[in-house]
């Protein structure tokens, strides 16, 4: 018998349980199989974010991302992720209309990708939908504060809750989706003390991005922290300079091809030796 490899996947209840024991929930976005494999043993949760429209498809915002794109990338990530919990973003237009439409589309995401959960943007106005999905077997991660799918309403990617007058509405959003059954929630782009306050008010883990170190977990767009975004937002810490590394590698390859030093003897095939 072959050795038993520990590939048990982290579950939704295990993510929730981390809050009580103050274990930070480590999250990154992930859009491909090869990066999923590299991230798998280091993160608790991978989010197939609709930011993929901007980050890998070059779109100006996330509004043009389709359900088909999310399913395709969700399938790719699931082929590389064996231990981490995988969450797939519901794209703009796939869940806002009604809880029923949201369920139909979320069920496609879950059944066609094998991911554990979906994420959708919105607080109080989406609470009924969060409840409808979680009651029917689909774990939902909430997302409040700066919700990029409302870029046209906000007039840009603008940090929320920087005046106290804005706080009650955002606190009500957090409370509403927690009560509706969200298993965790992303707090994006909000003033630090507000994110800290909400983290103290809800029973499920808060996952911050441009929020606060007091959130129960953190998420970043992987390409941003790897140095692949030439103009990263202020909330990003870059842990590698992959943009520079890729350019240097491509430059060296181009020089080798032009000098005919690639391929080398080690890269080419000789004729088979004649036998007999
Ligand atoms: N590459 C990438 N990283 C992300 O984190 C990300 C995406 N794309 N696309 C979808 C959303 C959009 N996000 C963004 C993008 C830019 C800012 C930004 O420029 N913020 C300003 C502050 C703006 C203000 O408060 O007025 C900053 O300087 O950080 C914020 C969130 C976060 N998400
Ligand atoms: C930034 C995270 C939270 C997200 O929603 C995305 O990547 O789409
Ligand atoms: Mg998103």
109/105 Cα distance (integer angstroms) = 6
Which residues line the pocket of ligand 2, CB cutoff 6 A? 29, 47, 49-51, 89, 143, 186, 188, 209, 219, 221
CA-207 nearest atom, ligand 2: 3
Return the closest-CA partner of residue 139 out of 62, 64, 69, 45.
45
- Cβ–Cβ < 8 Å for 203, 158: no
Task: Say whether 121 counts as a known binding-site residue.
Answer: yes
56/48 Cα distance (integer angstroms) = 12
* Cis peptide bond N-terminal to 263, omega within 30: yes
Tell me how far the alpha carbon of residue 248 lies from the centroid of ligand 3, in angstroms.
31
- Cβ–Cβ < 8 Å for 136, 98: no
- Cβ–Cβ < 8 Å for 206, 185: yes
CA-229 nearest atom, ligand 1: 1
Task: Say whether 89 counts as a known binding-site residue.
Answer: yes
Taking CA atoms only, the protein residue closest to ligand 2 atom 8 is: 49
Tell me how far the alpha carbon of residue 157 lies from the centroid of ligand 1, in angstroms.
6
- Cβ–Cβ < 8 Å for 54, 100: no
Site to substitute for ligand 2 among 89, 189, 190, 235, most atoms within 8 A of C-beta: 89
- Cβ–Cβ < 8 Å for 87, 28: no
CA-51 nearest atom, ligand 2: 8
Task: Say whether 119 counts as a known binding-site residue.
Answer: yes
Task: Say whether 216 counts as a known binding-site residue.
Answer: no
**pLDDT tens per residue across all 276 residues of the chain:** 456 666 799 999 999 999 999 999 999 999 999 999 999 999 999 999 999 999 999 999 999 999 999 999 999 999 999 999 999 999 999 999 999 999 999 999 999 999 999 999 999 999 999 999 999 999 999 999 999 999 999 999 999 999 999 999 999 999 999 999 999 999 999 999 999 999 999 999 999 999 999 999 999 999 999 999 999 999 999 999 999 999 999 999 999 999 999 999 999 999 999 876
- Cβ–Cβ < 8 Å for 118, 140: yes
Taking CA atoms only, the protein residue closest to ligand 1 atom 33 is: 51
Residues taking part in catalysis: 188
Which pLDDT score, from 0 to 100, does residue 274 have? Answer: 86
Taking CA atoms only, the protein residue closest to ligand 2 atom 5 is: 49
Q: What is the pTM of this model?
A: 0.96
183/127 Cα distance (integer angstroms) = 13
């Amino acid at each position: 018998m072959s050795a038993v490899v520990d590939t048990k996947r982290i579950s939704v209840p295990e993510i929730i349980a981390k809050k009580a024991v103050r274990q930070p929930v480590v999250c990154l976005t992930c859009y491909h199989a090869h990066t999923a494999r590299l991230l798998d043993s280091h993160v608790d949760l991978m989010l197939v974010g609709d930011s993929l429209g901007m980050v890998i498809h070059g779109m100006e915002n996330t509004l043009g991302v389709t359900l088909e794109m999310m399913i395709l990338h969700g399938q790719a990530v699931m082929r590389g992720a064996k231990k981490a919990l995988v969450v797939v973003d519901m794209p703009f237009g796939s869940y806002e209309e009604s809880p029923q439409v949201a369920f139909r589309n979320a069920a496609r995401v879950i059944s066609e990708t094998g991911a554990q959960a979906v994420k959708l943007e919105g607080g109080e106005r989406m609470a009924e939908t969060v409840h409808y999905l979680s009651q029917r077997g689909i774990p939902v991660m909430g997302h409040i504060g700066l919700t990029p799918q409302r870029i046209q309403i906000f007039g840009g990617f603008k940090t929320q809750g920087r005046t106290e007058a804005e706080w009650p509405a955002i606190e009500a959003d957090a409370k509403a989706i927690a009560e509706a059954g969200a298993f965790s929630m992303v707090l994006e782009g909000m003033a630090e003390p507000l994110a800290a306050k909400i983290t103290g008010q809800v029973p499920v883990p808060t996952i911050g991005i441009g929020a606060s170190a007091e959130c129960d977990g953190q998420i970043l767009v992987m390409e941003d922290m790897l140095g692949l975004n030439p103009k990263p937002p202020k909330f990003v810490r870059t842990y590698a300079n992959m943009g520079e590394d890729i350019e240097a590698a491509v430059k060296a390859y181009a020089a080798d091809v032009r000098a005919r030093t690639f391929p080398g003897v080690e890269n080419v095939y000789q004729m088979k030796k004649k036998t007999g």
